[in-house]
Amino acid sequence: MTADPKHMCLMLLIDHDQQRIVLGHKLRGFGKGNVIAPGGKIDPGETITQAAARELHEETGLVVDPAEVTDAGELLFTWADPLAQHHRVTLRTASRWQGELTPSDELDPFWCDFAKIEYDLMWDDDRFWLPGVLRGNAVHATFGYDSDQRFVVSADLSFEPRPLHR
């Protein structure tokens, strides 16, 4: 790897009362075909929270108040291909929103019950960290992927409890 990790964000919109999360089918770009949480790049001048809220709105039509968004940790992704740029993904969560789910050209969003999350349709790392975040923990992790960028070949995770916001 020759450059600093590409910094991105994810917004995990979690409805704890109904035990569900907003996910979506990725329609284009990196990860096309996977089920993912809304997120993406951080524009110049934006905070991570502003970027996560903007990405959620652009990809799902839902609006969250940045003052009600909480930190849920950070993930670092490394790739076996030495020319591939690593990714650093900062996680944010929210549990209050306005609006109705609306598909975009990038994501076809849906509410998914915690018990029905199809991890085999997601990035391989999600099965390691997402259950802990859904239980109310923050996560800090590093994942190494194989040369096909399909399977995790190494994982180092730590979780820390945090209060659930309802």
Q: Which residues contact 67 (CB under 8 A, 6 or more apart)?
A: none
**Per-residue pLDDT tens for 46-74?**
999 999 999 999 999 999 999 999 999 99
**Per-residue pLDDT tens for 90-139?**
999 999 999 999 999 999 999 999 999 999 999 999 999 999 999 999 99
User: Cα 45 vs. chain centroid, distance in angstroms?
Assistant: 21
Reduce the secondary structure of the chain to three states and give it as a string: CCCCCEEEEEEEEEECCCCEEEEEEECCCCCCCCEECCEEECCCCCCHHHHHHHHHHHHHCCECCHHHCEEEEEEEEEECCCCCCCEEEEEEEECCCECCCCCCCCEEEEEEEHHHCCHHHECCCHHHHHHHHHCCEEEEEEEEECCCCCCEEEEEEEEEECCCCC
pTM (two decimals):
0.93
Question: Going from the N-terminus, what domains does the chain have, and what CATH number goes with each?
Answer: 6-161 (3.90.79.10)
For the four alpha carbons of 143, 145, 150 and 155, in that order, the dihedral sign comes to: negative
